[in-house]
Structure 1
Amino acid sequence: MSTTHRLNLYRQYFALVASSSKTIEVRVKYPHLENLKAGDRIEFRIKDTEERCEVEVLRVAEYPSFEALLDGEGAEKVNPSASREQQLANIRAIYGPEKEALGTLAIEIKLI
């Protein structure tokens, strides 16, 4: 049985998901995401707005760091409009080292 998860996204990343150009979502392995699996759905929303889009989870892979994730998945799948170095800086600006230490998740998604 699939589950629908509700997650917030910054507008710039939401636009990439909504246009199907972002196929890998990056998250920290928080406890509420430990059961995320292929077949689940994610409803992404921009906080404090009515904007929503829904994706199907195709695959979830765990990595020890954001660097390993970008190298393993390909930075262009995470954000085709930014360099690998830019993305790493952006991701680390959102998640500090203590969050990254929890483990990182690459969530392969497909717009529904």
Structure 2
Amino acid sequence: MSDTTTARQHELNLYRQYFDLVAAGRKTIEVRVRYPHLADMAAGDTIRFRIKNTDETCDVRVLRVTEYPDFEALLDGEGAANVNPTSAREQQLANIRGIYPPEKEALGALAIEIELLAA
């Protein structure tokens, strides 16, 4: 691949409730654990979100990636409404921690600011 840009494409699974918010352009911050395979994600990259075990996808452009020590700091720093406009902060924190156990959260949290790309 002789692409001169450093932008990469990532493929990540999303639960239906979050996928629908991204696809509608209402969710502008995606939350992830700072796994090694995401550590190099950067502005300009694209993400193809997929609902697991389906063909449904939507593509977004990464505008910014910000690291936080934990999910609470991320929600406070980014604003809970940007992460999930349909859920209160405390509920979101419970939801995120339901997906990621404490040992995963200890790796650090990534706030990935995204912009929906035209289908």
TM-score, scaled relative to structure 1: 0.99
Partner in structure 1 of residue 17 of structure 2: 12
1:7, distance to aligned residue in structure 2 (A): 0.2
Deviations 1:81-101 (A, max 9, x none): 000000000000000000000
Deviations 1:50-82 (CA, angstroms, capped at 9, x unpaired)? 000000000000000100000000000000000
Aligned to 1:31: 36
1-side partners of 2:80 and 2:92: how far apart?
Answer: 8
Deviation readout 1:11-54 (Å, 9 max, x if unpaired): 00000000000000000000000110000000000010000000
Find the partner of 1:47 among 33, 52, 64: 52
Pick aligned residue for 1:61 from 40, 62, 66: 66
Match of 1:97 in 2: 102
Aligned residues: 112
Cα distance in 2 for residues equivalent to 1:58 and 1:72: 16
1:71 counterpart residue number = 76
1:86 has 2:91 as partner: yes
Structure 2 gap segments, 5+ residues each = none
Taking the aligned partners of 1:58 and 1:87, their CA distance within structure 2 comes to 22
Runs of 4+ that moved beyond 2 A: none
- Identity over the aligned pairs, expressed in percent? 71
| Cα distance in 1 between the residues matched to 2:56 and 2:45 | 20
